[in-house]
Amino acid sequence: MLAGFLDTSDEWIVTRTGIHTRRLLSGETLRELALKAARAAMDASGLRPQDIDYLICSNVANSYVSPSLGSIILGPLGCCCPTFDMNGACAGLVYALDVADAFLKSKDVKNILVVAAEQPSRFCNWHDRATSVLFGDGASALVVTRGEGFFDFRLTGNTHTDVMYYKRAMEPTPYDCVKEPTTPLVMEGREVFRLAVEASIQDVDTLLERNGMKGSDIDLFLLHQANMRIIECIREHLEQPREKFPTNIQKYGNTSSASIGILIDELSRAGELKDGATLMLSAFGGGFVTGAALLKWSSITY
Ligand code: UT7
């Protein structure tokens, strides 16, 4: 289908990215997708809406700048807790988990619902073959409960606005009427690739070293699904076997901050996430921001 209106080919996309298919919203809305993911996570946790103490949404953009996506889905979920959105680009889920961990440790809260919902198809330039073929829409959600799961996080940030950005037009005022049109996603693919590999390796190495661990101590590396070649470069550096790096980019493309959560959900449903497994999460995205988390997986059934 893409080759029907872009100068591209399935062969190019598969070889350069590993992506075979991706899902794009058409009839459904991002709100509905976010709700589905959130409800599935709540059902799996066995918690009731009143048990959720915070709802944190990771989202880069949706049709509402305000209210937050969290506010939009809070009511339909039956929850009445505080909520806010975070924009940590493709690293947003790891950022949200870091905040959730800090809240669980410092506040009188027990259960935090983290929802990552993204519709990158609506900020891509569909005339640009170098970006539009990479992304897929998706949502994932996790209920994070107070416990001993998280060992450590490493988040980084620096300003590389030019390598990846999406600009939205603001309303003119009587005092500022400079017209800045909306600019769909612009990306320097090769530079983002380089930054991603370099930063992810540094995050993972730092977490391993800081916690006296080696790559062989990690059961699964769950990396942001941006490009199969990025994952492979990181894997080669860590000299770990392929089966420790599960992927689903083949099916969904890059779903931004939703990607690691979708991977967790699929592994969990397939029985491949064993209680007590040591996981390393690592993600990177526009900013440039990165985040890695070292944790012990435990799925609690109420
Ligand atoms: O979530 C984080 C966000 N983004 C990323 O992680 C993306 C990171 N970057 C990448 O994944 C890769 O850089 C891309 C997949 C975007 C591009 O792959 P690449 O191997 O770095 O290709 P390139 O940019 O060096 O382009 C090679 C050629 C160019 O043609 P010329 O100049 O050699 O004639 C591009 O114009 O491939 C061309 N090209 C395409 N050809 C067919 C770029 N996109 C396409 C396409 N179909 N879709």
- CA of 19 from ligand 1 middle (Å) equals 13
Identify which of 71, 96, 101 has the alpha carbon closest to the alpha carbon of residue 86.
96
* Contact status, residue 74 vs residue 83, Cβ threshold 8 Å: yes
Tokens of 299: 């799925």
Mean pLDDT of 126-141: 98
Q: Other CB atoms closer than 10 Å to residue 68's CB: what's the count?
A: 19
For the segment 191-211, the average pLDDT, to the nearest whole number, is 98
Q: pTM of the full predicted structure? A: 0.97
**Is residue 151 very low, low, confident or very high in pLDDT (cuts 50, 70, 90)?**
confident
Same domain, 165 and 50: no
Is residue 160 located within the same domain as residue 247?
yes
Alpha helices in 137-281 (DSSP H): 189-210, 228-238, 249-252, 259-269
Å from CA of 86 to ligand 1 middle: 28
The answer for residues whose C-beta is within 8 angstroms of residue 27's C-beta and 6 or more apart is none
Domain stops at, among 148, 181, 205: 148
- Beta carbon of 114 within 6 Å of any ligand 1 atom: no
Q: Is the pLDDT assigned to residue 73 strictly greater than 60? A: yes
* 254 part of the active site: yes
Cβ atoms 47, 81 nearer than 8 A: no
**Does the structure show a pLDDT above 90 at 150?**
no
Is residue 178 very low, low, confident or very high in pLDDT (cuts 50, 70, 90)? confident
Instruction: Reply yes or no on whether the pLDDT at 241 is more than 50.
Output: yes
Predicted pLDDT at 81: 98
Per the structure, the count of domains in the chain is: 2
Domain enclosing residue 26, as ranges: 2-148
How many Cα atoms occupy the beta-carbon half-sphere of 247 within 13 Å? 21
Rounded Cα distance between 214 and 238, Å, is: 9
262 and 158, same structural domain?
yes
Is ligand 1 within 6 A of the CB of residue 130? yes
The number of the ligand 1 atom at minimal distance from the alpha carbon of 133 is 48
If asked whether residues 117 and 180 sit together in one domain, one would say no
Q: Taking a C-beta distance cutoff of 8 angstroms, is the pair 203, 282 a contact? A: yes
Is 129's C-beta closer than 6 angstroms to any atom of ligand 1? Answer: yes
Position 60 pLDDT exceeds 80? yes
pLDDT, tens only, 152-173: 999 999 999 999 999 999 998 9
Name the helix (H) or strand (E) containing 104.
helix 92-106
Strands 278-285 and 289-296: antiparallel
Same-domain pairing of 183 and 212 = yes
Q: What's the chain's average pLDDT?
A: 96
> What is the distance between the alpha carbons of residues 82 and 70, in angstroms, rounded to a whole number?
9
Contacts of 56 by beta carbon, 8 Å cutoff, 6+ apart:
70, 83, 84, 85, 86, 96, 99, 100, 112, 113, 114, 115
pLDDT in tens, 7-59: 999 999 999 999 999 999 999 999 999 999 999 999 999 999 999 999 999 99
- Please answer whether residues 68 and 74 qualify as being in contact, where contact means their C-beta atoms are separated by less than 8 angstroms: no
16 close to ligand 1 (CB < 6 Angstrom)? yes
Same domain? 8 vs 35: yes
Residues 10 and 88 in one domain: yes
Q: How far is the CA of 39 from the centre of ligand 1 (A)?
A: 36
Residue at which a domain ends, from 117, 148, 179? 148
The question of whether 87 is a catalytic residue gets the answer no
- Catalytic-labelled residue, pool 79, 81, 90, 233: 90
* 136 & 231 share domain: no
- Ligand 1 mean position, distance from CA 121 (Å): 17
- The reply to whether 142 and 53 lie within a common domain is yes
Are 23 and 112 contained in the same domain?
A: yes
Q: Let me know whether 111 and 159 are in one domain.
A: no
What per-residue confidence (pLDDT) applies to 302?
Answer: 44
Please report the atom of ligand 1 found closest to the CA of residue 229.
Answer: 11
The 10s digit of each residue's pLDDT in 248-265 is 999 999 999 999 999 999
Q: Please tell me the distance from the alpha carbon of residue 93 to that of residue 112, in angstroms, as a whole number.
A: 13
- Ligand 1 pocket check for 285: Cβ under 6 Å: yes
* Edge-to-edge strand ranges of the sheet holding 289-296: 150-157, 289-296, 278-285, 220-223
The verdict on whether 111 is a catalytic residue reads no
Alpha-carbon span 156 to 160, nearest angstrom? 12
Residue 33 alpha carbon to ligand 1 centre in Å:
29
For residue 291, the domain's CATH number is 3.40.47.10
pLDDT band at 300 (very low <50, low <70, confident <90, very high): low
Out of 107, 133, 148, pick the residue that ends a domain. Answer: 148
Q: Is 121 in the same domain as 185? A: no
